[in-house]
Structure 1
């Protein structure tokens, strides 16, 4: 969406939400006979949100103004926005939506039954889901067998970056570990930038800097990529070499959760190996 269109959409959205909210709903006492139009006045929204009337008026006029996360949170509370409306407000303002302020980020990353069913039905293809902290929150049976996931993994073992740099058995799965690890780190870095104020992220980075010489060497380089698709070659201890493409995409139910699906590359024998080891269900 172009900036000019985005600012116009933001202006229209703020106006509609202001006009639908009565003074009583906003906690104000008002004589309705003195109001020519329903809803709150601009000056009331500005005062309740702790911002100047001039600045708020500029927002409703669609002017190109950079809106901070704090102001967006104030407007969300003043206008009584629900979860979806709050998310839309942040998107229109060009801001990454922060975690729910009433809960610990990443503490409640459950997937829906429908998503779990989709994951399980991909029984021929390894697939897993990571949350906003890159912890594995769900996987299917074939992913467990290929990548070694299990229910008894601790918090660190569930983190895909920690696994890549700190778990020797996991490192040995990848034929070209160095390039794959560098690529994953660059992807993680782009994600990290959105949550750099999260103490959990900073703690993870500090631990990896102390524990992994490769991480310590590559992290200061600030390499950043966003690659939802790619190829990986694995050397499985029982299946041998597996050549697979992967595709990653956000879940509609929570855009900070990412599902990654691995599909065998054609003419490599990978599909036949997986089918022999994990027979197709009837």
Structure 2
């Protein structure tokens, strides 16, 4: 990923979503050649020269101070997640290529833990939203990950390239935005990942929706929330999810789903758990793949 281009496009996209009246500036003139704030207006709000901000927006973030980035973030009304993303783009940290190129794996003890969660769908995602481990309830709820070729076990590929995802996620657009936002954040702090451009390229070629959302430069982080799912066997469910980063490897996250006790969704999840027992026995006979 070209870090300079990412910085440039991100700043332009954030500037483009603001109007003068949004930041207390007068609306001068009826016709503006570009949407959003002008560079000189943004520079004025941030307290920097137009030339300095222009260089930054052109992707030259070398030697920019944290104070200046904070001022620009305030002027652009960035969220905390967007502010962190801007910092990663402008002041990237060097990572060891050896570690980045090493295949990720789920520790046996962690796999045993999620297998023991026999009533809770749980799975582990790694870099680029690769699916690395799951339990039988996750397979019963979201699909048979084990049946997929290893290179297709990726949440972004499933959401954008698998037609079943549009039936499963009732609010598919919301799920798609979350996936793209997560990839954007990862790209901001891991631009040296050699496999990331391959993933982005494949998704961009095969999915018009991905191209549209990727171009929006949306970055957000949702560690918890709820999802409305429509399962082909048990119908509609509303489930809460939690995303927990592992303390010894922040590139790994454990994702769990659960239903409100006593709800119809909880009953549906129990029915699905019973179905998942038979499916798990069959999967054990053939291996995880």
Q: Normalising TM by the smaller chain, what interval? A: 0.5 to 0.7
The correspondence for 1:102, drawn from 90, 98, 113, is 98
What's the counterpart of residue 147 of structure 2?
152
In structure 2, the gaps of 5 or more residues are 1-64, 67-90, 278-289
User: Cα offset for 1:133?
Assistant: 2.4
Structure 1 residue 170 corresponds to structure 2 residue 165: yes
Structure 1: how far apart are the matches of 2:142 and 2:227?
Answer: 12
Describe the shift of the 1:104–1:223 C-alpha distance in structure 2 as closer, same or farther (beyond 3 A).
closer
**Which string of whole-angstrom CA distances, capped at 9 and with x for unpartnered residues, describes residues 123-161 of structure 1?**
111110011221100000010111113323124421101
What's the counterpart of residue 252 of structure 1?
247
Higher relative helix content: 2
What's the counterpart of residue 50 of structure 1?
none
Structure 1 residue 188 corresponds to structure 2 residue 186: no
Q: Which has the larger radius of gyration?
A: 1
Describe the shift of the 1:152–1:277 C-alpha distance in structure 2 as closer, same or farther (beyond 3 A).
closer
Asked if 2 retains the 8 angstrom alpha-carbon contact of 1:106 and 1:132, the reply is no
Greater relative contact order, per chain length (Cα 8 Å cut-off, separation 6+) = 2
Describe the shift of the 1:155–1:193 C-alpha distance in structure 2 as closer, same or farther (beyond 3 A).
farther
TM-score (norm 1): 0.61
What's the counterpart of residue 137 of structure 1?
132
TM-score (norm 2): 0.60
User: Cα offset for 1:187?
Assistant: 2.1
Structure 1 residue 121 corresponds to structure 2 residue 121: no
Describe the shift of the 1:95–1:128 C-alpha distance in structure 2 as closer, same or farther (beyond 3 A).
same
- Map 1:1-282 to 2 at 5 A: 98-99=95-96, 101-102=97-98, 105-107=101-103, 109-266=104-261, 268-279=263-274
Structure 2: how far apart are the matches of 1:223 and 1:147?
Answer: 25
**Which string of whole-angstrom CA distances, capped at 9 and with x for unpartnered residues, describes residues 164-186 of structure 1?**
00000123201111122112211
**Which string of whole-angstrom CA distances, capped at 9 and with x for unpartnered residues, describes residues 9-66 of structure 1?**
xxxxxxxxxxxxxxxxxxxxxxxxxxxxxxxxxxxxxxxxxxxxxxxxxxxxxxxx99
Secondary structure (helix, strand or coil) at the match of 2:242 reads strand
Describe the shift of the 1:195–1:236 C-alpha distance in structure 2 as closer, same or farther (beyond 3 A).
same
Structure 1: how far apart are the matches of 2:154 and 2:144?
Answer: 11
In structure 1, the gaps of 5 or more residues are 1-64, 67-93
Aligned length: 188
Describe the shift of the 1:196–1:149 C-alpha distance in structure 2 as closer, same or farther (beyond 3 A).
farther
After TM superposition, the runs of 4+ consecutive aligned structure 1 residues lying more than 4 A away are 94-97
Describe the shift of the 1:98–1:104 C-alpha distance in structure 2 as closer, same or farther (beyond 3 A).
closer
Asked if 1 retains the 8 angstrom alpha-carbon contact of 2:92 and 2:189, the reply is no
